[in-house]
Amino acid sequence: MKFSTLLIPTSKETPGDASLASHIYLLRGGFIDSVGDSGLYNFLPLGKKVLDKIRFVVKEELDRAGCQEVALSFVTPESLWRESGRLEKYGRELLRFKDRKENNFVLGPTHEEMMVNLIRRTVKSYKQLPLHLYQINLKFRDEIRPRFGLMRGREFLMKDGYSFHVNREDMQREFAHMEETYKTIFTRLGVDFRVVEADSGAIGGTGSKEFMVLADSGEDTIVICESCEYGANIEAAVAEPKVYDEGVTYISVKMKAHYDEGKSKVIAFVLPEGAELQEVKACKAVGANDLSVSDESAQAPIVVIEQSLGAAVDPHDFDAKEIFYEDISSVKEGDRCVHCGGVLRYTKGIEVGHIFQLGTRYSEALGCHFLDENGKSVPMVMGTYGIGVSRLLAAIIEQNHDERGCIWTRECAPFIVQIIVANMKDEAQKAWGEKLYYEMREKGIEVLFDDRTKRFGSKMRDYELIGIPYAVVMGKNLPEGKVEFITREGMVKEEVGIEDLSLFVEKRVLS
């Protein structure tokens, strides 16, 4: 396509609230447009193209894996959320509203309830199972502080899949199958990623894995083993237990644990000195929705002791009604791997996929049963699988950029090659540019032709900012029959003879 006809509003100005490279470059490169600081974004032509590329890969691999695409209503009845017991648990991120008849609805941030409601009405027999449905659809989460552009926006595009099974074994088979499918997807998208063990959070269930795009700017801390494949989100990471002697110094951290219906309890968490309380683990240990700082003088009827302290502390030292032992401390760099004894270290990642062994949490709450081979009614066993489709745009750029702009991976680039005519008033440059443009189009190669009458420097800056994998510059050496071929990664420049150009470009961009 011709640059001059496309809406690509590139800009030199860094938007005030943007700190992450992806946020800055996606805005400055004219991929997205911010709707008034509200965590809402428009996808402009270039951004929409990237989104479609990602969507295409995701859909192709899921269809190949036997999943079926559907599209559920984005607006969902609040009653379903009440039925599942999630209305309160989800908290204020759940955007609720009334329609003109005062009926209550929710803008779906995830669709477990809707999907289970569909399946409980349409699937009755073990003969209809297993079943895996997915959608690639809008979601809304009323973030208190939307930030980092597409990384943590309020309206976003997500692939959410849900599988239904006769038993746990079959669900685990599909879970493993999805882990492989996701690996294929992220490999095709060209990102460097790691699969890590994770906490299941508000979705619920047991056993979940996250797919992390490795990037220094990632919000998540990942613990990885230097010697084996082990990786886990810090929230779920475990290390070889340390052994403490009786004389160990320990600290006690008092926290207020919050439960449904506004209930709360004060809890003392006891840790060896130097260890750090891992709040997600701590929450899980006491079954709370959330923790907040508590007044140190408050009475704590419940005491949770870090399990590694084991026999090293005397439970009688605590004046408590209940005492129990749990893994509540953060793994530290240098700790040892439980699998191989290797050294654990930290890295940063962006969560772009999450797969859950959900079990019967929703099928029981919502009464999603089937008749098994013996005619007995049992709840279906579920798995659920997400990919942050719009977040992937940001994650790809966090991992692939330099100080000049984006560096798109080949499978996700809006175009594969850009033709830059240095001076549109130079008839030869223009003619050779057009010739190559039509040749590339003829061959089905996605090509962007920068035919604007701007200065060369400005066109090059836009090329670097937008980050299409390859470029051909029709420039000052054209009279000698030479043009420049650029690889965006590293901005590697090569001189190519004009006569061999078409074949050369074709070979390089399709290789």
Binding residues for a copy of itself (CB under 8 A)? 5-7, 9, 30, 33, 35-36, 38, 40-45, 47-48, 51, 66, 68-77, 79, 92-93, 95, 97-101, 103, 105, 107, 114, 117-118, 121-123, 128, 131, 133, 138, 140, 142, 144, 154-155
Q: How far is the CB of 364 from a copy of itself (least distance, A)?
A: 21
How near is the Cβ of 56 to a copy of itself at its closest, in Å? 12
- Least distance to a copy of itself from the beta carbon of 61, Å? 16
> Please, which residue, 79 or 502, has the CB nearer to a copy of itself?
79
Going by C-alpha positions, the residue among 76, 156, 64 that lies closest to residue 112 is 76
Residue number with CB closer to a copy of itself (107 or 285): 107
Q: What are phi and psi of 168, to 5 degrees?
A: -65, -35
**Distance, CA of 409 to CA of 185 (rounded, Å):** 13
109 close to 141: Cβ distance less than 8 angstroms: yes
Task: Name which of 156 and 186 has its Cβ closer to a copy of itself.
Answer: 156
Residue with tokens 């269809």: 63
Amino acid at 338: V
**Which residue, 114 or 419, has its beta carbon nearer to a copy of itself?**
114
Instruction: Please say which residue, 135 or 208, places its beta carbon nearer to a copy of itself.
Output: 135
List the end-to-end C-alpha distance of the chain, in Å, as a whole number. Answer: 22
Nearer to a copy of itself (CB atom), residue 166 or residue 277: 166
Smallest distance, a copy of itself to C-beta of residue 6, A = 6
Query: Which helix (H) or strand (E) is 61 found in, with range?
Result: helix 45-64
Instruction: Decide whether 79 or 221 has the Cβ nearer to a copy of itself.
Output: 79
Nearer to a copy of itself, 76 or 409 (CB): 76
In this structure, which amino acid lies at residue 38? S
Q: Write the CB contacts of 508 (distance below 8 Å, at least 6 apart in sequence).
A: 470, 485
Identify which of 295, 294, 283, 363 has the alpha carbon closest to the alpha carbon of residue 115. 363
As given in the structure block, the two tokens for residue 104 are: 């209550």
b/e map 160-177, b = 16+ CB within 10 Å? bbbbbbbeeebbeebbeb
Residue 455 Cβ vs a copy of itself, minimum distance, rounded to whole Å: 15
Q: In what order do the strands lie in the sheet with 264-272?
A: 290-293, 250-258, 264-272, 302-306, 322-326
Report the nearest approach of a copy of itself to the CB of residue 258 (Å): 17
Q: How far is the CB of 437 from a copy of itself (least distance, A)?
A: 16
CB of 510 to a copy of itself, least distance (A): 22
CB of 395 to a copy of itself, least distance (A): 18
Q: Which is nearer to a copy of itself, 8 or 195 (CB)?
A: 8
Strands 417-421 and 447-450: parallel
In angstroms, the Cα distances linking 48 to 82, 206, 412 are 36, 36, 11
Give CA–CA dist 139/155, Å, rounded: 6
Please state, in angstroms and rounded to a whole number, the distance separating the CA atoms of residues 107 and 75.
5
Whole-angstrom distance, CA of residue 72 vs CA of residue 89: 22
User: CA angle, corner 157, sides to 45 and 177, nearest 5?
Assistant: 120
Q: What are the structure tokens assigned to 213, written together? A: 């795009």
Burial 297-320 (b: 16+ CB within 10 A, else e): eeebebbbbbebbeebbeeeebeb
What are the CA-CA distances from residue 325 to residues 178, 268, 358, 377, 395 (Å)?
34, 12, 25, 38, 38
Q: Give whichever of 71 and 492 is closer to a copy of itself, judged by the CB atom.
A: 71
Could you tell me the smallest distance in angstroms from the CB atom of residue 36 to a copy of itself? 6
Which of 466, 183, 233 is CA-nearest to residue 350? Answer: 233
Q: Give min distance, CB of 259 to a copy of itself, in A.
A: 21
Tell me how far, at minimum, the Cβ of 302 lies from a copy of itself, in Å. Answer: 31
- Looking at the Cβ atoms of 103 and 206, the one nearer to a copy of itself is 103
* Choice between 91 and 207, CB closer to a copy of itself: 91
